[in-house]
Amino acid sequence: MSRAVRVAQRRGAIALAEREIRRVLSLWTQTIVPPVLTAVLFLAIFGGALGTRIGEIEGIPYVEFILPGLLVLTVATQALANNATSLFQARSEGYIDDVLTSPLRPWQVTLAYMTGGLLRAFAAALALVLLAAPFVGFPARPGVALLSLVLVGLLFSALGIVTGIWAETFDQHSFVAGVVIAPLALLGGVFYAARSLAEPWATLTRVDPLYYVVDSTRAGFTGFHDSSVWVATLIAAATAVAAFAVATTLVARGWRLRA
């Protein structure tokens, strides 16, 4: 491959990523404000109003206990929603053809589209952390918390691309976000500790894949965790790599992308 082609690929990938970034930032009232507001309301209602009655879970004030789970929920839903919508619009408006006929490699296209979802997810998460900091403080183990959230963002931004390629209507987008992702997150230990539940609920929680990233994120913020942090991290990393591979393969084959 000539140097000119490599330069063109690099510039094209950067240009496509910049387009996705501008899309997120120009629509910040739709992409960033709503998820932050929703998560803050969760904190206020569950952590503030109900937290005084619940008190502590595993020795942790309730509002501190639920914040990591809300961050995982925010990152997952926003990364998926952004990329699913972006790919769906590119298909429906036809400009995906320009991307597919460019010299960009499939993995470069995938990464470029993932950029917008990651920006949206982490902008909302950062805003939530800063708003909650006066009440819950900052992470006890910031490296663990950041790694867990990055893996969640990578996983769901790749799944967002898969969803955007697969879905034929906005109803199908809503189905994935509302019927698959949200229940998995809410049943993944966001508001409770799995070992405090009776059977079969404790087992059902532990078979939820999002439970482990919620648990590792909570370990980063509070130091408490039910399962092995490193096992959870390795599983999340392997799943993120697999999701990226699937998304890249679909882009390479042009499945449902080419007219």
Q: Cα(122)–Cα(182) distance, rounded to whole angstroms? A: 18
User: Would you state the structure tokens that stand for residue 64, as one six-digit string?
Assistant: 């501190």
Q: For the chain, give percent helix, strand, coil, nearest 5.
A: 80, 0, 20
**To which residue do tokens 């460019």 refer?**
102
Q: How many H helices and E strands in the chain?
A: 13, 2
Type of residue at 14: I
**To which residue do tokens 């209602």 refer?**
45
**To which residue do tokens 């697999």 refer?**
242
pTM (predicted TM-score):
0.90
User: Would you state the structure tokens that stand for residue 250, as one six-digit string?
Assistant: 């679909």
**Of 238, 7, 43, 224, residue with least CA distance to 129:** 43
Each of the 259 residues of the chain gets a pLDDT tens digit; together they read 677 888 888 999 999 999 999 999 998 888 889 988 988 888 887 766 665 667 778 888 888 888 998 999 899 999 999 999 999 888 888 888 888 888 899 999 999 999 999 999 999 999 999 988 888 888 888 999 999 999 999 999 999 999 999 988 777 777 777 777 777 777 788 888 777 777 777 777 888 888 889 989 999 999 888 888 888 899 889 999 999 999 999 999 988 886 5
Return the domain boundaries, the chain.
Answer: 3-253
